[in-house]
A and B are shown apart, each in its own frame.
Chain A
Amino acid sequence: MRKKLQSILLVAGLCTVLSACENSNENPEPVQVEMPENYSFQRNGTSTVNFSGQTERIRMAMELNTALKANETATASSLLEMFRNQTAEGGDADPFEDAALNAASKSIKEKVASSKDYFSANASESAILKGYFESWLTAQATEVFPNWNELATAGKAGQVADGTSVRYVGTQGYEYNQLVAKGLIGALMLDQIVNNYLSTAVLDEGTNREDNSQAIVVEGEQYTNMEHKWDEAYGYLFGNSATPENPDLSAGGRDDSFLNNYLRTVESDDDFSGITQEVYDAFKLGRAAIVAGDYSLRDAQADIIKENLSKVVAIRAVHYLLEGKEKIEQDNRSGAFHALSEGVGFAFSLRFTKNPSTNAPHLPSAEVAAFAQELFKGNGLWDVSPELLGQIASRISSEFGFTEEQAKD
């Protein structure tokens, strides 16, 4: 930590020196895009920022999270209706408490594993990934709910203790609600942000560049198409903030139970502090770059976001896998299931990370699938070896360039 601070000070000092030099050099520079103070942009005195669809999906997912624990009221079909915002027959459903969500024509499912970069020509894998969520939702209702007041054992769903908390697991020891929640962080939030809305294929689609450069707005709106795409990416991270134009970035805080929450969890680790501000700044500067028509600056900011948000998923995967590994090593196997359910959910989400230098996930999807096969075989977590968990954690951390020690606390 101290070392890190020193290097920050050093860099800050260097910047001061450099900019002082620059000031003495009177050459006129091309227009410099300045870092906006807030995520707030206007045209003709009206805000051009809109991400209501993203906020809605975050809220739908939060209601789904709650329903996954409603053992007395939720059913497999009610959970699936929440996921699809449709009845099993494809008719209109009203599965949410919040009437605005029922009125919405959107659903969680339509955007799961649906990014342009990864899935537009890969409908078969998209269907498989969506299918996992539906199988977890169904199993929660058909496997876990009926055994709510039973003690879980290998091959039998029920309760396990996790310190002072009670956890409800399926036959393989997994908390399906955790697999769903942590899986959505990758399959919905991360995938939509880094592989869809911040993808040049989406930002520059059709005539987006010309339109944006000439400030041609979408019919009936104040924003250009490109601006809007960028905002939609922003919405999946900060859309549920009380003040989304100036969101709370504090360590350990949360505006939802998904990517926002875990970015700020990572923020509270000294080894990664500053990450939230870095992501927020990249969103602001990238958006300002779009307004200024500076597309290389835009793409540089997109890369910063892709890099950091992918890393958040990897850090939390390693963190929870190691926590679970330690508990198993201390003969507290069932006490490890909560951490492992979170860890495996995050590991599942690695499929949706993007390495800006390869434009692919950091770990090949076949490798993630091979891990999954090991983790879900036989009695699952009741049998899993600490060695396997250590191996997966070590593979992830070395690929992402942080140490296991850094991810642990």
Chain B
Amino acid sequence: MIIKEMFSQEKTKLFRFASFILFAVLVFSCSSDSSGDEPGAQTDDFDRAEMLVFWADQIIIPAYENYRATLVDLNTAAESLDTVDDLKTLQEKWRAAYLAWQGVSMFDIGKAESNGIKVFSNTYPTDAEQIELNIGEGSYNLELPSRKAEQGLPALDYLINSRTLSDEQILEQFDANRQSYIKALTERLLNLCDQVLEDWTTGDFRSKFIANKGSSSTSSVDKVVNDFLYDFEKYTRAGKVGIPAGVFSSLPIPTASEAYYSGERSKELLLESIKAAKGFFEGDSWIVLGGGPSLKAYLDDLGAQKDGQNLSELILANFNEAENLTAGLSSDFADQIEADNTKMLALYDVLQKNVVLIKVDAMQAMNIQVDYVDADGD
């Protein structure tokens, strides 16, 4: 994970420099040719097919492979839980898996959509009461959709971390039933990921995905862009920040923070999530140094503007501002909310600004329709 982080920071810088040059060239060439450059006179000859191949091979599949590797480690670490060191290893593997999850959360397409990996892997707040009942009874069917809040990374957070107990005390609770529940959770996470990854690699999903290169509402580009936006709006903006900060309720709900029980991971998970969104937007490759065809390039190709400014630059600036604001927060959002919730709210506003830029301006420019509405409650 750490290696990947350094690597990606390096290539991001390089890519920025490259895109700056590209931008300068574009500006220069435009100024010498003023025809057909009226605002609104956008033509779409962007190569969507090339972008799909790049997304599949250099972002989505590598991100899942990375996530899978962390789950294999996590699953192994859950095998023997005898000593405090075993527990510490498990906690560290859980952390790595949770960080890697942020890189795949947005790709809710293909098997991921039908097997429900997103809701089964990261629904929080977790249902601690029901988890205890399951452990007590020793029987549970984790495949039931109604059990989504009793499993996944948040359920593990509850079982292996604590805001009040020491590691020794946590370990004392690990009777046979509890250990087998933990193992069932790590196996289920791995199994869900395997299903998705296999569909991409050994199954036929990659070829279907690439072949579906049109611009209808069910085309791959339209779907992925919607998934990207949905994840950023509902999971990053609302789930990680808005809900715990009380944007949607009369009072803040600090216990609804991601990784609440760890007491120290919510900030880095949010940062990783913003980084993943930004990286996807910029076309940040996981495989080679540099970038590829991306939403940013697509918007630039269309000449998309907002209030006289380059739309993609505005979106990037917002991602950067969100990262900067997040960096200034406590590593634990529950603490941050108790201490000074206004900083959470300010961050929420910046994230919301990007939701609007993407959902309204960028989607309109790319002629992609938003395919989801807020649930109508039935």
A residues in contact (CB < 8 Å) with B: 149-151, 159-167, 178, 181, 257, 265, 326, 329-335, 408-409
Contacts and interface: CB of A to CB of B under 8 A. Distances in A.
Contacts of B119: 161, 163-164
Given A151-B143, A164-B123, A167-B145, 12 more contacts: A151-B141, A161-B145, A161-B148, A164-B119, A164-B148, A165-B145, A166-B144, A178-B378, A257-B378, A326-B218, A330-B113, A408-B217
Given A330-B113, A331-B110, A335-B113, A160 B218 contact: no
26 contacts: A149-B144, A149-B146, A150-B141, A150-B144, A151-B143, A151-B144, A161-B116, A161-B148, A163-B119, A164-B119, A164-B123, A164-B148, A165-B145, A166-B145, A166-B146, A166-B148, A265-B376, A326-B218, A329-B218, A330-B113, A330-B114, A330-B218, A331-B114, A335-B114, A408-B217, A409-B369
Nearest to B203: A331
A408 B222 CA distance: 15
B375 interface: yes
Contacts of B369: 409
A306 to B, nearest CB: 26
A105 B231 CA distance: 50
Nearest to B120: A161
A331 B218 CA distance: 13
A174 to B, nearest CB: 15
Nearest to A268: B373
A163 B234 CA distance: 13
B120 to A, nearest CB: 8
Which 6 A-B pairs give the minimum distances between C-beta atoms?
Answer: A161-B145, A332-B114, A166-B145, A161-B116, A166-B146, A159-B145
Contacts of A181: 378
Nearest to B374: A252
A335 B369 CA distance: 21
Contacts of A161: 116, 119, 145, 148
A159 B144 contact: yes
A409 B378 CA distance: 18
Contacts of A329: 218
B144 A165 contact: no
A334 B115 CA distance: 10
A94 to B, nearest CB: 27
A106 B333 CA distance: 55
A309 B111 CA distance: 39
Contacts of A265: 376
B333 to A, nearest CB: 21
A160 B116 CA distance: 10
A334 B141 CA distance: 18
Nearest to B212: A330
B146 A159 contact: yes
Contacts of B378: 178, 181, 257
Interface string B105-126: 0000011011010010001000
A163 B114 CA distance: 8
Given A330-B218, A332-B114, A160 B145 contact: yes
A13 B55 CA distance: 51
Contacts of B116: 161
B39 to A, nearest CB: 16
Contacts of A333: 114
B131 to A, nearest CB: 16
A370 to B, nearest CB: 28
A136 to B, nearest CB: 16
B41 to A, nearest CB: 16
Nearest to A408: B217
A408 B114 CA distance: 21
Contacts of B145: 159-162, 165-167
B302 to A, nearest CB: 19
Contacts of A162: 145
Interface string B146-160: 101000000000000
Interface string B198-219: 0000000000000000000110
A333 B111 CA distance: 11
Contacts of A167: 145
A195 B14 CA distance: 70
A326 B212 CA distance: 13
Interface in B80-136: 110-111, 113-114, 116, 119, 123
A373 B141 CA distance: 35
Contacts of B143: 151
A408 B372 CA distance: 11
A182 to B, nearest CB: 10
A332 B113 contact: yes
Interface in B184-243: 217-218
B375 A165 contact: yes
B368 to A, nearest CB: 12
A160 B375 CA distance: 17
Contacts of B114: 330-335
A3 B371 CA distance: 23
Nearest to B372: A163
B168 to A, nearest CB: 36
A56 B378 CA distance: 21
A111 B114 CA distance: 40
A145 to B, nearest CB: 14
A325 to B, nearest CB: 10
A21 B94 CA distance: 78
A160 B376 CA distance: 18
A348 to B, nearest CB: 17
Interface in B286-339: none
B374 to A, nearest CB: 9
Instruction: From B111, B114, B143, B375, name the one whose CB has the most chain A CB atoms within 10 angstroms.
Output: B114
A165 B146 CA distance: 8
Interface centre among B111, B141, B146 (most CB of A within 10 A): B146
Contacts of A330: 110, 113-114, 218
Contacts of B218: 326, 329-330
Contacts of A164: 119, 123, 148
Query: Which has the most chain A C-beta neighbours within 10 Å: B217, B369, B378?
Result: B378
B206 to A, nearest CB: 14
Nearest to A323: B371
Nearest to A178: B378
Contacts of B375: 165
Nearest to A409: B369
Nearest to B369: A409
